[in-house]
Amino acid sequence: MAADPKVINDKMAKRMYQPYLEAEWGFINHWYPALFTHELEEGDTKGIQICGVPIVLRRSKGKVYALKDQCIHRGVKLSAKPMCLTDDTITCWYHGFTFDLASGKLVSIVAAPDDEIIGTTGVQTFAVEEHSGMIFVFVCDEDWDEDVPPLAADLPLRYPENNERFPHPYWPDTPSVLDEHSVALGIHRKGYANWRLAAENGFDPGHLLIHKDNAIVHARDWALPLGVKPVTDQAIALIEDDNGPKGFLNRYYTDHYEPILENEKLGVKAQGTVPRYFRTSMYLPGVLMVENWPEDNVVQYEWYVPITDDTYEYWEVLVKHCKDEQERKDFEYRFENLYKPMCLHGFNDCDLFARDAMQNFYADGTGWNEEQLADMDASVVTWRKIASRHNRGLARKPKGVPGVLKDQSYRFAEASEGSFE
């Protein structure tokens, strides 16, 4: 590789990912994780926001429904004070506008059952799928009129079917959230940066430095290099199959990459003696897979879900095949006592810190022009181009929803009460 910094930073390169630079509010018409299964029990109603779209989720008779979380009448969130009078409807708590869960149609108004507006209008609905303990929503524009693409098209590559294409001699097949016996355990939380800064941190081969002092690294004596250097133009494999996921894969632990073990000038050497083989790949709309991480037979998925243009939901999910209840319990025990505190928090908290630390530089548009990228950023540039080519639409700056106007007095009031989220 050895990309000339002038090439990496030049304007021609930037032009190739211009759409990405306009994706402040995320990519619309894609599948995103919404909640964990355990966060939406029977009869629960919860509101979230993705790409600036407020969405209310409700589980009724086992099935999850997703509707736009904004009453058509006076615009309040249905989720602000959930009210469901029948199994197949959701009612706005304010004036009683009642919508069919499946179609979104306005089917009644509590105190005006004969109003002529009934049956003539409704709220947008969203496709939902639930797998391995996760609820996914297809977040689309109001005028989306195509078939909903398969969820698999917005998830990482699967194994064993890609074994020949991307061999992994150092670890067993990577589980998928779509596999029959998969269990997905994880956490999600809000980060205060644009979602793209989070996404770029996820697969960043140049940021290992921020993890060098992490307790898990030392506890396990992991032999992590200072960094990795692409040495052929095959180091990054593009994934652009017609009907499959779109992204790229870093061919770590092959001849295409060289680990950097020492910086003589600065007197720094890689430490640790136990190999920890892993591989990163990244897919639209913003999902990372770290294969064989943090341990054999486990995979870490991460999503960087846009909430607004300056907040994102950071999802960290570990997936494992559990063939029986005992294996599931063992996984849950290990998750609670090792993975969650030491990896998802201890290790990845550093990433959360790093992403938010970039926000000032990028928030006013300066960063995209002033950043000085280096060889290590080849995959960042690859991601920006792939994302520009294959996204199904740029989310528009929304109207009339939380987070558009940021300087409203009620936000200060919330902050002063310690309740701002």
Considering only residues 209 through 238, tell me which ones interact with a second copy, judged by CB under 8 A.
209-210, 225-229
| Smallest distance from a second copy to CB 55, Å | 15
Q: Which is nearer to a second copy, 70 or 300 (CB)?
A: 70
Looking at 35, 53, 56, 109, which residue binds a second copy (CB under 8 A)? Answer: 109
Retrieve residue 95's tokens: 């004036």
Looking at 41, 116, 147, 324, which residue binds a second copy (CB under 8 A)? Answer: 116
Looking at 208, 223, 237, 338, which residue binds a second copy (CB under 8 A)? Answer: 208
Q: Which is nearer to a second copy, 329 or 413 (CB)?
A: 413
Binding positions for a second copy, 345-374, rule CB under 8 A:
353-354, 356-367, 370-374
| Smallest distance from a second copy to CB 145, Å | 21
Q: Which is nearer to a second copy, 5 or 160 (CB)?
A: 5
Q: Which is nearer to a second copy, 83 or 152 (CB)?
A: 83
Looking at 16, 215, 219, 405, which residue binds a second copy (CB under 8 A)? Answer: 405
What CA–CA distance (Å, rounded) separates 64 from 158? 26
* Terminal Cα distance for the chain, rounded: 43
Q: Which is nearer to a second copy, 4 or 146 (CB)?
A: 4
Residue 235 in contact with residue 188, Cβ under 8 Å? no
The one segment of 143-151, 158-166, 180-188, 396-404 that binds a second copy by CB under 8 A:
396-404
| Smallest distance from a second copy to CB 136, Å | 25
What track of x and - describes contact with a second copy for positions 63 through 102 (by CB under 8 A)? -------x-xxxxxx--xx---xx--x-x-xxxx-x----
| Smallest distance from a second copy to CB 132, Å | 31
Residue 35 in contact with residue 46, Cβ under 8 Å? yes
Q: Which is nearer to a second copy, 101 or 319 (CB)?
A: 101
| Smallest distance from a second copy to CB 195, Å | 12
What secondary structure does DSSP assign to 201-248, as a single string?
A: HHH-TT-GGGGTT-HHHHHTTB---SEEEE-STTSEEEEE-SSS-EEE
CA triplet 4, 2, 8: central angle to 5 degrees?
35
Residue 126 in contact with residue 32, Cβ under 8 Å? no
| Smallest distance from a second copy to CB 406, Å | 4
Binding positions for a second copy, 307-326, rule CB under 8 A:
308, 310-311
Number of residues located near a second copy, criterion CB under 8 A: 100
Q: Which is nearer to a second copy, 98 or 280 (CB)?
A: 98
Residue 47 in contact with residue 54, Cβ under 8 Å? yes
Q: Which is nearer to a second copy, 2 or 274 (CB)?
A: 2
Binding positions for a second copy, 270-309, rule CB under 8 A:
308
Helix (H) or strand (E) holding 13: helix 11-16
**Residue 5: partners with Cβ closer than 8 Å, 6 or more residues away:** 372, 373, 374, 375
What secondary structure does DSSP assign to 289-346, as a single string?
A: EEET-SSTT-EEEEEEEESSSS-EEEEEEEEEE--SHHHHHHHHHHIIIIIIIIIIII
| 3-state secondary structure at position 117 | coil
Binding positions for a second copy, 135-194, rule CB under 8 A:
192-193
The backbone region for 165, taken as left when phi is positive above 0, alpha when psi lies in -120 to 50, beta otherwise, is alpha
Q: In what order do the strands lie in the sheet with 53-60?
A: 45-50, 53-60, 63-68, 125-126
| Smallest distance from a second copy to CB 41, Å | 22
| 3-state secondary structure at position 40 | coil
Looking at 161, 255, 296, 414, which residue binds a second copy (CB under 8 A)? Answer: 414
